[in-house]
Every structure is written in structure tokens, then in C-alpha cells.
Amino acid sequence: MVTKVSIWLTLEPLLYSRPKHLAEISRELKKPHTTVRKQLKIFEKKGLIQKERIGKQTFYKLKKIPLIIDYLAMVEKEKLIEKCEKELVLKEIVEFLHNFDNTILIFGSAVDSVKEARDIDLLVIGRFNKREIELLGEKLNVRFHLINVRNLKEINESLKQEIRNKHLIINNAEALIKWLIS
């Protein structure tokens, strides 16, 4: 199933960022220009992205359309699934966190590798039993850096930018995406 929708990850470099050149997108995805160009053309036909020519260079950006939140949620979920398939400890953490109704995401260096990260930065919105996370950390032999706030408005702009740069959304993707693009 994942291979059928893997094209959606082509949009990842355009999430929450400025317009980007094809070479930059290809480099971030570690895919050949021709492959990325074909995939971007598909998204352009769907009306999700637009090309912008500046001189001889072409830049791509996401269009602000009503359904963009739904498309971005698919990209975020696919990114999460792909990372969980590669790292079993992350998969166990995500499965545990899915038991909660809170809005939750992981951000920072753990997004690249849970194994190599000093700690796992975890943002949890709403009331939450911190002891359960401590117990999970002990069980998996990982350290969590937990940021627990009542609502997303409590997060300052510099932390929001850090989250925007590197994150994995665990629960409540639509709400977090709306916040990240605002």
C-alpha cells in the first residue's frame, strides 16, 4: 500500500516553506530531477502546486486551496509510516502515543534517528499524565524531553519554527498542519 502513495512524499520539501527550485527539491528527496519533475507535474495538474518562473529558473510552491490540509495530512501520515518502518523503537513509541486523544508530535533530532538522538522532543497539547511517558522511556531506555501546553497558542514563534523544520505528527494532524501553516 505504501508504494502506491509514495509519490505524496514529493510534496514534503514544499511543506511549510518558501518556493523551491527543482534541484533543491531533488536534493532533499535524494531522487533524480526527471523523476521529481514528473511527480511535480502530476501535482500541478491536480491543482496542488504552482510553478513560478523567475528568469530562466522555475520554482514550485504549494497552492493555498481548501483541500490542502487533507493532502498535507496524507503526506504527514506517509512520512510517519515510512519512519516507523525503518525504526522499531519509534514504531513502539508511536503505537503507545496513539492511545491518547491529545494532539502530539515528535520534533528535533529524533525525527532523523531515535537511536542517535540524545533525547526525544515530544510536544503534547492538553492534559496529560507525564508519568506514563517516563515509564515508556524507562522501558525503551530512551529519554523524553516533554513539552506539555494547554493549547498551541502557548508556543512561541522560535519553537514553532523549530517544529516546522523537523517534525513527525503523531495525533491530530489536521489541527497541527493548520497551526504550522498559519
Note the pLDDT tens digit of each residue in 115-138. 999 999 999 999 999 999 999 999
State whether residue 113 is helix, strand or coil: coil
What is the pLDDT, as a whole number, of residue 182?
81
What is the pLDDT, as a whole number, of residue 99?
96
Higher pLDDT, 44 or 13: 44
**Structure pTM?**
0.80
Q: Out of 18-27, 150-159, 169-178, pick the least confident.
A: 18-27
Domain edges within the chain: 2-62, 86-181
- Fold classified for 86-181: Beta Polymerase; domain 2 (3.30.460)
Instruction: Label residue 107 by pLDDT band (50, 70, 90).
Output: very high
Three cell numbers written together for 65: 486551496
Higher pLDDT, 113 or 62: 113
CA 94, 6, 175 angle in degrees (round to 5)? 50
Q: Could you say which architecture CATH assigns to the domain 2-62?
A: Orthogonal Bundle (1.10)
Instruction: Label residue 165 by pLDDT band (50, 70, 90).
Output: confident
Please, which contacts does 157-162 make with residues 24 or more away whose CB atoms are closer than 8 Å? 162/107, 162/108
Of the candidates 172, 94, 176, the one whose C-alpha atom is nearest the C-alpha of residue 136 is: 94
Please give the share of the chain, as a percent, with pLDDT higher than 90: 58
pLDDT tens digits along 49-100: 899 888 889 899 988 888 888 888 988 998 999 999 999 999 999 999 999 9
Mean pLDDT, all residues of the chain? 90
Q: Is the predicted pLDDT of residue 45 greater than 50, yes or no?
A: yes
Pairing outcome for strands 144-149 and 120-125: parallel
